Structure formats: structure tokens, C-alpha cells
Chain A
């Protein structure tokens, strides 16, 4: 499998804080790569760097072999890279369908409005929002808004999907539903880079895991390898329950 996304020696400073410190790893095409790490490790910052919201101080980001470092977010989206946000960002007064249509129009396939609407319906159905297409986004529940984030990202038919804590704030039933949705996404050939705190979910979903700590890569490997890595366990030592979960790899 070829590398769809490559992070090379990425560095980002905010004032005195080194948020990302010479980070390098690759995401292989077709895989689900999990990104874990303690709070403040730099995971969301990394996403913001990848999709162009922040600009890196040093290093490169390659998407399909093309250097996208420093490109504005809309150009990166056009290349086929979509993301969800940890704090949901719905286009509040627009309906679910309209939200997804925007994404489908301006995403990779650059569809006209009619075709985009069809793609939007498809994406909404994938996450289970097909019965709420005419609802304004602001009126959805938090779970609904999370689904909308995902549907919107999917509507653009991306090659790479960046998921930022899609499971946060969901009850167990909703979590199970989302996990199966994500498996379905992968089966459609979309590569996924996922940040998640729910250990059992990310461990069972991902083929490989990258562990981040203080902006640096702490470990990389299969879930089992990472769970048994002493450095990783130590990083999580502050939370023995989490470390146990890691080890159990439920």
C-alpha cells in the first residue's frame, strides 16, 4: 500500500510553546490509522496543520506525493481531504441537506448543485440522517450534529478523512452505530486518520496506531504493539484505568 499522506519533520510553535516537534509518520492508503495521546499532546493541532488552518514552521506535508504544506484549507479540501471538528461547526441556519450539498459541491469532485444534492443525500443516509434532511443544523441534538459533521465530510467523496473525536459525548448505542459507520466508510476505500479518546473504539478500529506526546511521536505500530509499549504506558500512567484499558485492548 502506498502512502496517501506523509508527515515529514513537522514542527509548529505557538509563542513559547512547541506544539508539534519534528513529527514524521505516514498514512497508508486504505488503512485506518489511529492517533492517540494524552490531552495537549498536539493531536488537534496536527489536524489543523494538515488541513491548512495553521501553517507549519518547518517540515512538509505530502498528500499523494504532492507537497500541500501551506496551502489554504479550501484547496486542500478540493484535493480530496476532508475533516470533522472536535467542536462541531455546522452551518447553523442551513438544513442537513444543504450542509452536505455545500461539501459535495466544493469537495473533490466539484459537482454541480443537482449532482451534489444527490451525493449529499447518499452521505446523509450513510450516517443515518436521511430522515432529518430538512432540519436546520442548529436544531439537531449533539449526536445529530456529530453525525452531520461526518456526513458533510463524506459528501465531498474524500480520499482521506480526518476524524477528530467523533465519538465524544455520545452514548454507548450511538458509539456502536458510529463505529459501524466508520467501518463501512473504510470498506468504500476511504482512508481514515482518527483521533479518539475512547480507547476500545480506536484500538479495535485501527490497523495501526501513532502515539503522540507533547508534540512528539512516542510510538507507532499495531494496537497490540502500542498497548504493550512501556513508554506509552508510562505516558498514560497518570490514568491507570486508561493504561489498563490500553493493555486490555478491548
Chain B
């Protein structure tokens, strides 16, 4: 069975015909809306949403497909941020190169770490992901070239090559939206590939999958590494934009915890789930945490939400949608 040139062209046309791709297009268009009216405030909140969707989508590869919980997925984001910021401030790298390099570096590291900790099952893997985060945070806090626990401040001249701070913020925003779009696409590409089928089998029953011929250690390691790339790039972009990075922010487990809640809320193992979940979560949070006193309750909300989902609707929103409107199964995965 070989994929000839005509087969590939046919595939491309089929892709464009799939309603799902048009939906992604609509989502991205929605994110590009602020560009039309220059609404900076909207842009900032959408930027945060894009980060959440990126983190959640990539987390979904481990959590939703393979069935492995990565509590410390924030480490990819933070480490990517550090590498990018460092390359730019200390070595004068341009943003695109630095962001890309941090993505590559972090996913290579993830591959190495992954091969080790993915030999652990279930809870032990989950806990060791926290360990990886803590270890990296401890290392960075003591690593002087990266500012130790004080962090790195970026000078505004680094924004000059992008046309000054105001323009740079817009560029970074678009880049982050692009990363978000790529994350959604990656979810889709993996899910419809042979590799993705293997991952889903692992998520169902890892031992049975191995007996069926799925090379489980390798696939898990690749999934872990793949789920690190885009968050690392996003981290690079995000912390460059913030012009400041410090260990306690970069490796804050709150963000990866929220990503877990978002994936479960939207529907683990689906593609639209993380995006939907992020939107819902943001809305819920905004609605419930309007006053100062409730700001402390962010994690309480996340925890309560997660508990309710796990107890009563483990398939998340997408499962509910698919059950209610079965026709949508093909359109909205």
C-alpha cells in the first residue's frame, strides 16, 4: 500500500473539505479580531487564553491519548521561557530563532527524561512529573548565569528589532496564536495517524497494546517529547513579552494544574475539548472570582470543578455534546 502522488493530493483536498478545519479557521479568526480594532485589553486576555489552549492541547496528548497524567507539564513552558530569554539577552539571538531553539532543546530534554520516567506507571509517573518540575526549578534557582532565584530582566532594546515595544507585543500575540493553531493541528495530526492510534491503544490498555505490537516505551517517550515542543516555544514567546522571568513564575504548578482541569472539562482525548475547556474555564473563573477575596480561591475552584467532572462527567463537555448531537461526532472531534 503506497501513497502515490495522486493519493496525497486527494488527501490534501479531503483535509480542506473536513468541516473541522474550517472550525479551527473560525477559532483563529476570532483570535485575530483584536488586530482589526486594535483592542489591546482584549488582546491581552485572548493572549492568556491562547496560552491556556496551547498548554491544554499539548497536555491532552499525554493525558487524553495515552492516559498518563502530567502534573508538571509547566516545566516545558518555564524551561522554554528561560532558554529563549537567555539566548536573546545574553547572546543576542533574534526572537524566532531563540523561540524555535528553546522548543527543540526542551523536547530533546523531554525525550531523555521521558525515557526514564515513562517506565513508571500511573501514579508514580504522575508524581515524578512534579519531581521533574521541582528539580528543574531548584536547578534554575541556583544557576547564576540564569539569574538564580532573582530571575532575568530583559531590557527594552531587545524589542527594537521587532519595531519597538508596542509593535513587538502585537507580533508576539500573532505568533502565540499561530502556536495555538499549530497545537490544535498537532492534536489532530497525531489523532488521525498510526502513531496516534497506538497512543490511544496505550491509553485503553497498555499491556494489551504491547501484545498487539505497539512499541509502548518508544511511543510514550515520543508523545511526551512532542507534548513539550509547542509549550516550550509558547513559553519563550510569553516570557519574552513579559520582559521578565523568575523561577517561581516559570515553574508555577498552578498553571499546569489548571491545564489538567481544562482538558478534563473540555473532554480528554478530543481535539476541540481543550479549546472549549479553556474558554469555559476562563469564563467561569472570571465570573466567580470577581472580587479580591476570592482570588485566593482560584485553586479551590479548579479542584472543585475537577472533582465534579471526574465524578459525574469524566468525558467532559465533548462527550456530552457527542451524546446529545451524534451528528457532530464527525465535525467536532
Chain A residues close to B by CB (< 8 Å): 51, 53, 72-75, 77-78, 83, 85, 89-94, 98, 101-103, 105-107, 111-116, 152, 156
Contact = CB atoms under 8 A, between A and B. Distances in A.
Contacts of A83: 211
Interface residues of B, number: 21
B194 A113 contact: yes
B201 interface: yes
A106 B1 contact: no
What 6 pairs across the A-B complex have the smallest Cβ distances? A106-B213, A77-B213, A91-B204, A115-B1, A89-B208, A73-B210
A114 B1 contact: yes
Contact of A94 (B1, B192, B201, B213): B201
Given A111-B1, A113-B197, A103 B213 contact: yes
Given A94-B200, A112-B194, A102 B214 contact: yes
Contacts, number: 76
Contact of B212 (A53, A102, A113, A114): A102
A92 B205 contact: yes
Q: Which of A72, A85, A89, A116 has the most CB of B within 10 A?
A: A89
Contacts of B231: none
B30 interface: no
Contacts of A106: 198, 212-215
Interface of B: 1, 3, 192-194, 197-198, 200-201, 204-205, 207-216
| Binding site secondary structure of chain B | helix
Contacts of B200: 91, 94
Contact of B208 (A91, A113, A116): A91
A105 B194 contact: yes
B213 A74 contact: yes
Contact of B211 (A77, A92, A112, A114): A77
A120 B41 CA distance: 53
Contacts of B198: 102, 105-106
B201 A91 contact: yes
B57 to A, nearest CB: 21
Contacts of B214: 74, 102, 106
Contacts of A77: 210-213
Given A111-B1, A112-B1, 9 more contacts: A73-B207, A74-B211, A74-B216, A77-B210, A89-B208, A91-B201, A102-B201, A106-B214, A115-B1
B7 to A, nearest CB: 9
A90 B197 CA distance: 15
Contact of A152 (B194, B212, B215): B212
A152 to B, nearest CB: 7
Nearest to A156: B213
11 contacts: A51-B211, A72-B210, A74-B211, A77-B211, A91-B209, A93-B204, A94-B204, A102-B209, A102-B212, A106-B214, A156-B213
A103 B214 CA distance: 8
A53 B209 CA distance: 12
A90 B214 CA distance: 15
B215 A74 contact: yes
A103 B212 contact: yes
A89 B201 CA distance: 11
B3 A156 contact: no
A113 B1 CA distance: 10
Given A94-B200, A102-B198, A112 B3 contact: yes
A112 B3 CA distance: 9
Q: Which of B1, B208, B211, B215 has the most CB of A within 10 A?
A: B211
Contacts of A114: 1
Nearest to A78: B213
B60 to A, nearest CB: 16
Contacts of B209: 91, 102
A45 B105 CA distance: 44
A121 to B, nearest CB: 14
Nearest to B198: A106
Contacts of B192: 113
A53 B197 CA distance: 22
A102 B210 contact: no
Contacts of B194: 105, 112-113, 116
Contacts of B205: 89-92
Nearest to A114: B1
